[in-house]
Amino acid sequence: MSTRRIPLRKCIGCNEMKPKTELIRVIRNAEGNVELDGTGRKNGRGAYLCRDTACLLKAEKNKGLEHSLKMAIPKEVYEALEKELNSLGSEE
């Protein structure tokens, strides 16, 4: 029996390749809004982050999110993403 291939994605914070299911997708939709995509299926340009606020802080410091989404990200968006990540972490 053949084993099923697991899709890998790179976290923009720590730059590690991890299985897609372990990461959170952050998207820029057609209106230019940045949001977390819990399903991984929303339309828009996406970037992946570990489910850890440390990786979000690293991505903010090295401008990984801005580079991946090809837009300037305001400080308020990083704060909102951090709150959402914290709420996701408490649910698991």
Domain coordinates of the chain in residue numbers? Answer: 8-91
pLDDT at 91 over 90: no
pLDDT tens string 13-25: 999 999 999 999 9
Q: For position 20, what pLDDT does the model report?
A: 93
**Candidates 3.30.1230.10, 3.40.50.11540, 1.20.1090.10, 3.30.420.40; CATH matching 8-91:** 3.30.1230.10
Query: For residues 30 and 24, is the Cβ–Cβ distance under 8 A?
Result: no
Please tell me the distance from the alpha carbon of residue 61 to that of residue 47, in angstroms, as a whole number. 16
pLDDT tens string 44-87: 999 999 989 999 999 999 999 999 999 999 898 899 889 988 88
